[in-house]
């Protein structure tokens, strides 16, 4: 085998015309510096991308710890989400006690527990406090690493959650979320020590992960107004703040006696707004009507 040489190690791009799979996919033929080299390779775990529907693009040849990797850019044509295609509608309420509560057309609810996340964040906070009180140079360095670790971990959680939601509901689904751009989060459920450190970026990250994962399977994410989603009775439509009991996490309608978990209630109302949108309402929103007379 000829050693592969590069002019500039950072720019080892291999254009699509300069590599091909030969010998019934057992070898790859790469042209570098005008020379063609045939090599055996392994595609373990990536087999599914070597199919007709994925288009291979420009690749990058990388040398790392004695091994050669060919990173291939791939693209796939997917059709867009079609609102007229009778999609499933899933309302998703994001929160702290539950990371997400999802309510679907069949009346089924999925709860994603947030307690474990809160516990872990509390632990991060404790370590952070200890390091802060030290104030040394090495403590400062560790603080920075700790913050990066926490962000990576939260990113992993969001990836997992978006993946799980997309897998649970599949293609042709309209995922409805609240538009949280101008919302301050209700941190009543958080331990006091965590209230100020709550970071909303995690909510927006979940939204963006879910958006692109949904797009890949002809699903879509719709954002709706969060107004009154935790106050409206899904049975009789009454909007009443005091129906929600924060201490017991219960919604209890004073008019029709409907009772349900308050996280589930949010997801139900969010789902309803998604249905409104499918029915032609441009900016679905729960409006509190004041009775006159």
Size of the site for Zn ion (CB under 5 A): 8
CB closer to Zn ion, 202 vs 253 = 253
Q: Does 177 bind Zn ion (CB under 5 A)?
A: no
Restricting to residues 244-263, name those near Zn ion by CB under 5 A.
253, 255-256, 258
Q: Least distance to Zn ion from the beta carbon of 236, Å?
A: 3
For the chain, the distance separating the N- and C-terminal CA atoms, rounded to the nearest angstrom, is 91
- Residue 81 in contact with residue 218, Cβ under 8 Å? yes
CB closer to Zn ion, 180 vs 234 = 234
CB closer to Zn ion, 70 vs 238 = 238
CB closer to Zn ion, 142 vs 249 = 249
Q: Least distance to Zn ion from the beta carbon of 80, Å?
A: 38
Contacts of 125 (CB under 8 A, 6+ apart): 193, 194, 197
Going by C-alpha positions, the residue among 95, 114, 80, 244 that lies closest to residue 177 is 95
- Residue 71 in contact with residue 58, Cβ under 8 Å? no
The SS3 call for residue 118 is helix
CB atoms under 10 Å from CB of 173, counted, come to 23
**Residue tagged 């007379």 (tokens):** 293
Going by C-alpha positions, the residue among 112, 77, 110 that lies closest to residue 96 is 112
Q: Least distance to Zn ion from the beta carbon of 290, Å?
A: 18
Instruction: List the beta bridge partners of residue 112.
Output: 100
Give backbone dihedrals phi and psi of 113, rounded to 5 degrees, phi first. -60, 135
Q: Least distance to Zn ion from the beta carbon of 249, Å?
A: 18
CB closer to Zn ion, 173 vs 230 = 230
Q: Least distance to Zn ion from the beta carbon of 277, Å?
A: 23
CB closer to Zn ion, 223 vs 271 = 271
H-helix or E-strand spanning residue 146: helix 137-169
Distance of alpha carbon 168 from alpha carbon 21, whole angstroms: 35
Q: Least distance to Zn ion from the beta carbon of 258, Å?
A: 4
Give backbone dihedrals phi and psi of 245, rounded to 5 degrees, phi first. -110, 105
- Residue 121 in contact with residue 146, Cβ under 8 Å? no
Restricting to residues 212-241, name those near Zn ion by CB under 5 A.
233, 235-236, 238
Q: Least distance to Zn ion from the beta carbon of 254, Å?
A: 8
Q: Least distance to Zn ion from the beta carbon of 284, Å?
A: 20
* Paired tokens of 260: 């349900």
CB closer to Zn ion, 62 vs 256 = 256
Distance of alpha carbon 107 from alpha carbon 255, whole angstroms: 22
Residues near Zn ion (CB under 5 A) are 233, 235-236, 238, 253, 255-256, 258
């Amino acid at each position: 085998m000829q050693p592969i040489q590069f002019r500039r190690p950072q720019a080892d791009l291999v254009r699509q015309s300069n590599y091909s799979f030969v010998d019934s996919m057992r070898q790859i033929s790469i042209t570098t510096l005008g020379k063609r080299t045939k090599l055996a390779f392994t595609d373990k775990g990536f087999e599914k991308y070597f199919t007709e529907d994925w288009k291979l693009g420009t690749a990058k040849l990388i040398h790392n710890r004695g091994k050669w990797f060919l990173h291939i850019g791939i693209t796939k044509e997917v059709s867009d989400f079609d609102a007229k295609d009778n999609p499933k509608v899933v309302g998703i309420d994001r929160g702290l006690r539950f990371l997400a509560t999802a309510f679907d057309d069949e009346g089924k609810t999925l709860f994603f527990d947030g307690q474990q996340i809160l516990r872990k964040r509390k632990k991060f906070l404790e370590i952070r406090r200890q390091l802060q009180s030290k104030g040394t140079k090495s403590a400062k360095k560790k603080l920075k690493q700790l913050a990066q670790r926490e962000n990576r971990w939260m990113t992993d959680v969001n990836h997992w959650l978006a993946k799980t939601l997309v897998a649970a509901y599949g293609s042709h689904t309209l995922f409805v979320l609240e538009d949280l751009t101008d919302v301050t989060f209700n941190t009543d459920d958080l331990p006091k020590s965590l209230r100020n450190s709550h970071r909303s970026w995690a909510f927006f990250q979940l939204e963006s992960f879910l958006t692109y994962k949904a797009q890949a399977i002809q699903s879509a994410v719709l954002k709706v107004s969060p107004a009154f989603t935790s106050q409206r009775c899904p049975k009789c439509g009454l909007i009443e703040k005091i129906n929600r009991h924060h201490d017991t996490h219960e919604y209890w309608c004073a008019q029709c006696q409907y009772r349900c978990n308050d996280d589930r209630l949010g997801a139900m109302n969010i789902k309803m707004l998604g249905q409104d949108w499918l029915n032609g309402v441009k900016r679905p929103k729960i409006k509190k009507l004041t009775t006159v007379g």
